[in-house]
Chain A
Amino acid sequence: MASLEVLNLKNTSGRLPIVTKTIRMKKSVLFLLALLVAFNINAQLDRSTPPKPGPAPKVNIGQPASFMLKNGLRVFVVENNKVPVVSYSLSLDIDPILEGDKVGYTSLAGDLMTSGTASKTKAEIDEAIDFIGGTLRSNNKGLYASSLKKHSTELLDVMTDVLYNPSFPDEELAKAQKQLLTSLKSQKDDPKAIANNIKNVLRYGNNHPYGEVLSDETVNNIKVEDLKEYYNTYFRPNVAYLIIVGDISVKEAKKQAKKYFADWEAKEVPSHNYATPALFDQPRVVVANKDGSTQSTISLSYNIDLKPGHPDAIKARVMNQVLGGGSFSARLFQNLREDKGFTYGAYSSLQSDELIGSFNAGANVRTSVTDSAFTEIIYEMERMRTELVPEEDLQMIKNALTGSFSRSLEDPATVARFALNIQKYNLPEDYYVTYLERLNAVTPADVKAMAEKYITPDRALILAVGDVPNMKNALTQFARDGKVEMYDFYGNIVKALPLPAGLTAEKVIDRYIAALGGADALAAVTDYTMEGSMNVQGMPLSMKMYSRRPNHQCVETYMQGNLMSKQVFNGEAAKVVSPMGEQMIEGEMLESMKAESVLFPETKFAELGYQLELLGADNVDGQDVVKMKVTSPAGQDKTVYYSRESGLKVKEVSTSPQGSVATTYNEYITVKGVKFPNKLSQSVGPQSFDITYESIAVNEGIEDSIFAL
């Protein structure tokens, strides 16, 4: 009964606070002892208070062995015998590269290293790695391979084949370019991507590698020769580190390194220096348009001078965690989300970097509070500079950082990264071993000092991407000169061309009708059928669209000839048929279908009760356009862009429950005297698809059954 565990407990803390009570009872010793034991537990263990943590643990980071091969390759070995796995991480320590009119080529060179060698196809490389259950990855700064220790020979055979003999096959480049262009396309409507491009261009400039922007043009300029040249120039042992982590002795690692990497030929690698871009001397306020957006993606950002491993680095990180790190208790989160309800989340980041570090604070907020959100962010930034952070808040931040630091150490890759950083940034050998001690030594005064040094809202790029007309004017208060500039996706300034004097919305519509073929030609159309095809996530789909006067419409979608879905509007009611079943359409959606089913509604905008508002000049993919807000009789509005050159509609943006929907119209062709867009491209959120029409038939009659509900 008086178990070992209980005895242990007594040893742990020998205090027996209930002695008086037991003596007063004057029972037998045995009984007394039993009581002691029983009471002891309850009395000693005050369960109502959570236990206090012990002293911050010292990190046991394996000290890596290090040696250099004759060709200049520096090798680190982190022996870790927990599991019989070994990994080889090869990384290049080279300066960032200015890519000029071929932005994207260095990353493609990295990606394609594993896409074929002189003796192996991509499929053969994959098979060889699969057979041993291993991993092999590449990028423009190196290679990573991992497997069970006993397969390390086969692994290194493939890894070094990739390292020495990559073939950069034409067809693999074409495939990669296509994928890159697809992702670029979806980025054009992504406010975060727009913001990143603008930040990079404005803060670093076009002549700095951090300021370069990927475009269709730069991607298409990339040739196999560029990849080969990059590979030949920079994949050299004299600028590389090889980190071997795992169940391997230093001796074995040395032997392998020599066998596999000693023949790698050294060659001088060019270094690149870039002028440090100047900081802003006052806040610069910039907006970018994301039509139909109900939110603004806002950020306040600037460059900082903070190199990795700098004595400020840890303190500055703590400071940033207090302001806007990932935790629920961070000030930006508490203020903008919990208190004001402007946003789902608001965060800040402080990045050190060898060339230029950066600070960024931002959130996605409702359009109407764009300016208020900036005001609150600046308020919190200023507060960091002027007030001491309470000890209790600081402690919680330190605890969270301690925890995530410690957990990250489990991954041997972290240990490897530390070894590399110590070497690359010339840090003290015990930098990471003492990291937690230094973290825990940070004081409120340190935090304030860091804020004074690194929190400088008066030098920031204040950027909002969203519905410009509804937020631009409110942002003038943040610019000392009251100037708010507008930029586009590529970081080019958007100069609003003045509209011709006397231009009205009605004139734009008249011109559009004339461009389509004229009111008479449009009036002569009683029905039309368009058949097209598109590709959705790799699956080819085809579609048929039927339209008939006065307002009948049907859209059918097919997959490999099988009808997948159908939307019908018969002038009164509408329904959707899909694999999920049939559904009648009601409410707002029905209203919207009703409005859209009218043939050439522009010809009777006034009669139908549409409201038009000329918004001004803009630019769509390099084309000068007139921008107009069109509000349907049911009150749904969309923004429509008409080419100033042709008068034709080139784009429209509306808002749906899934987010804003942007549709562009291209390559108009004439059928029976009326122009139809032959290509249509639509994006909803991150997804986009292109429809190409194979046939457009006018006035050939459509069976009634098509519109039957």
Chain B
Amino acid sequence: MKNQFLLLAFMLFFAGIGLTKAQSNKISFEEYDLDNGLHVILHQDRSTPIVTVSVMYHVGSKNENPERTGFAHFFEHLMFEGTQNIPRGEYSNFVERAGGTLNANTSNDRTYYYEILPSNQLEMGLWLESERMLHAKVDSIGIQTQKKVVIEEKKQTVDSRPYGTLLQETMSRAFTEHPYRWTVIGDPDHIRAAKDEEFQHFYEEFYVPNNAALVIAGDIELEETKALVSKYFADIPKGNDNIYRPTMTEPPLGGEVRDTIFDNIQLPLILHAYRTPAMGTDDYYALDMLSTLLSGGQSSRLYKSLVDEQQKALEVSSFALPFQDPSVAIAIALPNMGVDCADLESAMDEQVNRVRKELISEREYQKLLNQFENTFVKSNIKLASRAENLATNYTYFGNTNLINTELDKYLAVTREDIRRVANKYFVNDNRVVLYYLPKSQQN
């Protein structure tokens, strides 16, 4: 069960954004725009002879047409099909032959492609990414192949995985206006129905230099790298200026939404999803810390109380979704055998109520700061994560340097702030409650 639960937690984070983390040791970088609008971020770190070349396109599932969901993720697949100069199926071979690795991921807000190469293969990385941006193969052979793959992927990761529909069921109830109401993987029917030219238009609109950040991090010569960036990217034509970005504001939930989902599962699951402010706001940081207080580690509030002491839950978890626009913070509990769901739910509420009423203790607060700072700092150890954090900070906030200053925002959160946001956001009228129950309990 535990494995399954971890899988679930992983799945919820599959977008893989991670938090943008900062630390006291300054991360230096240079940034500039090319004439075609491509934002370039260079981070030199010569301690290891490797280089990360990555492109973050500011397109995620939220930029999709509600009748054509799943496009951004579809492109994550399509972009490996090849380009005018790279034969079908060869894209990743170039990287492997060069001694590198590559991958990509998609979230509601952005899509991220990267290669990690030996530093003498920098030009290879630039060639590959520029090929992708200039003239990826968006043709019917690739589209047909990837349609099958993506539809299979949804079956595997959503439909047949226990609790696999969790995010979908939550978001469709937490949002009625904002495109967060559908998930990254989207609707297979939309993908199936989409015509080739719809994919081509999507590519033309979003996969353009003026909608992308190119990050090159690692063992590089700055001037030489700039010249190479020009060589490969300067001639890529700028795209349309009117890139579709949803601007609608989601109205307040206006009362608790409560529902039951019957699924192919053995153990029930209880979920609370509280609507939250956008990433980067002061309240977001406080809420993030509140989630960690509730379930970060075995001595956290929910874990200690529900799993250890009362033994009502098998597992608990809580986290704020790191989305660019206002989204939700989720708390999940799996009841132990024979425990009534309603009983466990009130035990969860009791813990939240406690945070609403009492200030957390100084020691707990200190531990929280320590835990936060630690994960935070460690998330910038790897070059690849630093590159992604730089890209995210620029793409979401237009503030690349947040990588150096964001920790302060967390450390500035007070015990009173945690109590305040618990009272402001973790209230019944602002949440979706889902019970996942075994299908055998239906009717």
Contacts and interface: CB of A to CB of B under 8 A. Distances in A.
A3 B34 contact: yes
A404 B99 contact: yes
B119 A6 contact: no
A559 interface: yes
Given A45-B232, A133-B373, A537-B1, 10 more contacts: A51-B124, A54-B120, A57-B118, A60-B47, A82-B381, A84-B25, A130-B299, A131-B366, A406-B99, A407-B116
Contacts of A577: 440
A148 B127 contact: no
Contact of B439 (A132, A396, A581): A581
Interface stretch (B222-230, B317-325, B350-358, B423-431): B222-230
B298 interface: yes
Contacts of A581: 264, 439-440
Interface residues of A, number: 70
A129 B131 CA distance: 48
A400 B370 contact: no
Contact of A57 (B1, B49, B94, B227): B49
Given A11-B227, A47-B85, A50-B124, A402 B370 contact: no
Interface string A653-683: 0000000000000000000000000000000
B99 A6 contact: no
A561 B339 CA distance: 12
Contacts of A611: none
A42 interface: yes
Contacts of A578: 440
Closest 5 CB pairs of A and B: A403-B99, A133-B374, A5-B230, A57-B49, A51-B123
A8 B223 CA distance: 9
A560 B377 CA distance: 44
A148 B337 contact: no
Contacts of A580: 264, 266, 439-440
A579 B121 contact: no
A410 B375 CA distance: 18
Given A399-B99, A580-B264, A51 B440 contact: no
B438 A84 contact: no
A18 to B, nearest CB: 15
Contacts of A275: none
Contacts of B134: 47
Contacts of A9: 227, 230-231, 234
Question: Of residues A6, A11, A327, which shows the largest number of chain B Cβ atoms within 10 Å of its Cβ?
Answer: A6
11 contacts: A12-B231, A53-B124, A60-B48, A85-B378, A85-B381, A133-B375, A148-B374, A410-B50, A539-B337, A564-B266, A577-B440
Size band of the B side of the interface?
Answer: 35 or more
B234 A5 contact: yes
Interface in A534-577: 537, 539, 559-562, 564, 577
Contacts of A127: 299
Interface string B34-59: 11000000000111111000000000
B56 to A, nearest CB: 20
B297 A130 contact: yes
Nearest to B441: A579
B24 interface: yes
Interface string A378-398: 000000000000000000100
Nearest to B371: A133
Nearest to B128: A50
A565 to B, nearest CB: 9
A428 to B, nearest CB: 20
B337 A562 contact: yes
Interface string B416-443: 0000000000000000000000111000
Interface string B99-128: 111000000000000001111111110110
B25 A82 contact: yes
A147 B235 contact: no
Contacts of A6: 230, 234
Nearest to A581: B439
B367 interface: yes
Contacts of B97: 396, 399-400
A399 B96 CA distance: 8
Contacts of B99: 399-404, 406
Contacts of B35: 1, 3, 5
B383 interface: yes
A4 B298 CA distance: 56
Contacts of A41: 234-235
Question: Of residues A53, A62, A560, which shows the largest number of chain B Cβ atoms within 10 Å of its Cβ?
Answer: A53
A57 B23 contact: no
Contacts of A12: 227-228, 230-231
A93 B134 CA distance: 55
B98 interface: yes
A702 interface: no
A12 B224 CA distance: 9
Contacts of A402: 99, 118
A71 B25 CA distance: 35
Nearest to A561: B338
A134 interface: yes
A252 to B, nearest CB: 15
Interface in A300-357: 327
Interface string A61-74: 01000000000000
B61 interface: no
Nearest to B229: A5
Interface string A14-55: 000000000000000000000000000110110110111111
A578 B266 CA distance: 9
B400 interface: no
A537 B131 CA distance: 50
Question: Of residues A9, A127, A134, which shows the largest number of chain B Cβ atoms within 10 Å of its Cβ?
Answer: A9
A456 B126 CA distance: 45
Interface in A78-94: 80-85
A45 to B, nearest CB: 6
A247 interface: yes
B183 interface: no
B117 A56 contact: no
B438 A400 contact: no
Interface in B51-83: none
